[in-house]
């Protein structure tokens, strides 16, 4: 068992990335008494705006990396696409990195991720959806001839850098696949079979440096255009299905243990209409579907990120009250029908609901499809939380 001593306040913690996840990490770290250094190339990054120090540089800038290493006792990341070599830089200098570089490397490469999930299935009983790797070396239609017809209809995804629906194209036939692959620059991709989903849930777990693990209640998710729309906890579809919750949770625990993971980990699962379950993907960080924990749980996912990287005891993950989380995109700033004009949404109407908790990310400007904030709607029951969430969405001009 690892018995490394804890990193106590007022030590400095480093976070790679200053987006909304970095910003919420900064707030939680500061509330615990830590100082935070953010490294992000955007001079207007939301996280950099609230941290004690913002290193405005690229993630491979060795001068900036050295400055963070000189200052911080531990480093984490807010997104999986930070170069793994960057995390290696800190590990080589004996800076505590959580999650470690090898964990992030798996999550940022879809083929490695699916291979890893397949290996975990021997114990967890939950593997990835059927898939095939499309190599960058493919040159013509005949190279697709050996693909199983069972993979269609499918989704073609880039091996790297895809998120929120980006780098993904739906394909119905091999002809569609050829065109889609060409439009993605003929890079290495993964072709996944489209599954007949009943519902989707995400399991959010946290693992400490000593192997302690805790799991939040699974969130039931609805996506629109590849972007998370709402998350509901407790999951209505998992009601009265404790055995399925246990199976999903144990699978997420096994995945974390197999990677020797330290930190907050999200695993997305597909539940099909026939009751079978598949692991979709993993995110080595706090996750959009876990934002509900900020208001509905004893300990938020961001506080857990701080606790785990500082080698502190993990917090209580108990759900205090049912909740429905609504993502707020930049579209809500542009609601005129003819010529879109930027206009601040009616936050006063949102806050007229006593149980609605508004979280805005401080981004410099709204854009359609850009995540600008979220709203946690609490309720005595999940149905009540969903009802409030739908009313808030209507007031913002968002389809419920």
| CATH at 182 | 3.30.1490.20
Where is the domain boundary, 193, 222, 245? 193
Where is the domain boundary, 52, 74, 97? 97
Question: Quick check: 101 and 158 in contact, CB under 8 A?
Answer: no
Together in a domain, 244 and 339: yes
Together in a domain, 138 and 175: yes
Together in a domain, 137 and 202: no
Digit-by-digit pLDDT tens for the chain (400 residues) are 345 899 999 999 999 999 999 999 999 999 999 999 999 999 999 999 999 999 999 999 999 999 999 999 999 999 888 888 899 999 999 999 999 999 999 998 999 999 999 999 999 999 999 999 888 766 555 567 778 888 999 999 998 866 655 778 999 988 889 888 888 888 888 999 999 999 999 999 999 999 999 999 999 999 998 899 999 999 999 999 999 999 999 999 999 999 999 999 999 999 999 999 999 999 999 999 999 999 999 999 999 999 999 999 999 999 999 999 999 999 999 876 566 788 999 999 999 999 999 999 999 999 989 999 999 999 999 999 999 999 999 999 998 7
Residue 1 pLDDT: 37
Question: Quick check: 177 and 149 in contact, CB under 8 A?
Answer: no
Among residues 162, 154, 164, the alpha carbon closest in space to that of 196 is found at 154
Among residues 305, 299, 313, the alpha carbon closest in space to that of 16 is found at 305
- The residue whose two tokens read 């968002």 is 398
Residue 167 pLDDT: 78
Residue 104 pLDDT: 93
Provide the domain limits for residue 147.
130-193
CATH of the domain at 41: 3.40.50.20
| Torsion of Cα atoms, 289 then 290 then 294 then 295, to 10° | 60
| Torsion of Cα atoms, 283 then 286 then 287 then 291, to 10° | 170
Q: Across the chain, which distance is largest between two alpha carbons, in Å?
A: 63
Cross-sheet strand order for the sheet of 154-158: 131-134, 189-193, 154-158, 168-171
Together in a domain, 140 and 81: no
Together in a domain, 56 and 152: no
Together in a domain, 183 and 250: no
Residue 128 pLDDT: 96
3-class DSSP state of 207: strand
Together in a domain, 222 and 73: no
3-state helix, strand, coil in the chain (%, to 5): 35, 25, 40
Burial of 239 (0-12, 13-18, 19+ CB in 10 A): exposed
Residue at 113 is within a domain = no
Residue 163 pLDDT: 61
Residue at 1 is within a domain = no
Question: Quick check: 234 and 320 in contact, CB under 8 A?
Answer: no
Residues in contact with 119: Cβ distance below 8 Å, sequence separation at least 6, in sequence order:
258
Residue 184 pLDDT: 87
Number of Cβ within a 10 Å radius of residue 85: 13
Together in a domain, 218 and 347: yes
Residue 268: strand pairing partners = 202, 281
Among residues 215, 208, 214, the alpha carbon closest in space to that of 311 is found at 208
Residue at 39 is within a domain = yes
Residue 16: strand pairing partners = 39, 77
3-class DSSP state of 377: strand
Residue at 151 is within a domain = yes
Residues in contact with 327: Cβ distance below 8 Å, sequence separation at least 6, in sequence order:
227, 228, 229, 230, 288, 371, 374
Residue at 221 is within a domain = yes
Residue 266 pLDDT: 98
- The residue whose two tokens read 């997420």 is 252
pTM, 2 dp: 0.94
Residue 2 pLDDT: 46
CATH of the domain at 376: 3.30.470.20
Together in a domain, 170 and 212: no
3-class DSSP state of 391: helix
Residue at 318 is within a domain = yes
Cross-sheet strand order for the sheet of 96-97: 53-55, 35-39, 12-16, 74-77, 96-97
Together in a domain, 256 and 358: yes
Q: How far apart, in Å, are the Cα atoms of 395 and each of 227, 331, 345?
A: 20, 13, 9
Residue at 172 is within a domain = yes
Where is the domain boundary, 143, 160, 193? 193
Residue at 230 is within a domain = yes
Together in a domain, 152 and 201: no
Total domains in the fold of the chain: 3
Together in a domain, 341 and 220: yes
């Amino acid at each position: 068992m690892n018995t490394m001593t804890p990193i106590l306040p007022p030590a400095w913690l480093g976070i790679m990335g200053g987006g909304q996840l970095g910003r919420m990490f900064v707030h939680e770290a500061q509330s615990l008494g830590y100082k935070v250094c953010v490294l992000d190339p955007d001079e207007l990054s939301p996280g950099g705006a609230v941290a004690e120090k913002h290193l405005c540089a690229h993630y491979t800038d060795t001068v900036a990396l050295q400055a963070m290493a000189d200052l911080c006792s531990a480093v984490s990341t807010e997104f999986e696409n930070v170069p793994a070599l960057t995390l290696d830089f800190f590990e080589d200098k004996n800076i505590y990195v959580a999650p470690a570089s090898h964990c992030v490397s798996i999550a940022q490469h879809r083929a490695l991720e699916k291979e890893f999930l397949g290996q975990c299935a021997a114990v967890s009983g939950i593997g990835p959806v059927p898939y095939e790797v499309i190599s960058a070396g493919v040159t013509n239609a005949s190279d697709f001839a050996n693909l199983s017809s069972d993979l269609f209809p499918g989704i073609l995804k880039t091996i790297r850098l895809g998120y929120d629906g980006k780098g993904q194209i739906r394909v119905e036939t091999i002809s569609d696949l050829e065109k889609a692959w060409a439009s993605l620059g003929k890079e290495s991709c993964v072709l996944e079979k489209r599954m007949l989903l009943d519902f989707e849930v995400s399991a959010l777990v946290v693992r400490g440096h000593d192997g302690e693990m805790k799991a939040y209640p699974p969130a039931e998710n609805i996506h629109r255009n590849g972007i998370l729309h709402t998350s509901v906890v407790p999951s209505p579809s998992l009601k009265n299905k404790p055995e399925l919750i246990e199976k999903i949770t144990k699978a997420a625990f096994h995945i974390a243990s197999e990677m020797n993971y330290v930190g907050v980990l999200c695993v997305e699962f597909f539940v099909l209409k026939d009751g079978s379950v598949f692991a979709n993907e993993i995110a080595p960080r706090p996750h959009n579907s876990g934002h509900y924990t900020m208001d509905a749980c004893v300990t938020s996912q961001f506080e857990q990120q701080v606790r785990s990287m500082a080698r502190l005891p993990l917090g209580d993950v108990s759900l205090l009250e049912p909740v429905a989380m609504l993502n707020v995109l930049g579209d809500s700033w542009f609601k005129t029908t003819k010529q879109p004009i930027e206009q601040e949404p009616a936050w006063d109407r949102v806050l007229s609901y006593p149980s609605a908790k508004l979280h805005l990310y401080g981004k410099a400007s709204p854009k359609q499809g850009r995540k600008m904030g979220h709203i946690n709607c609490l309720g005595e029951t999940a149905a009540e939380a969903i009802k409030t969430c739908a009313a808030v969405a209507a007031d913002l001009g968002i389809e419920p």
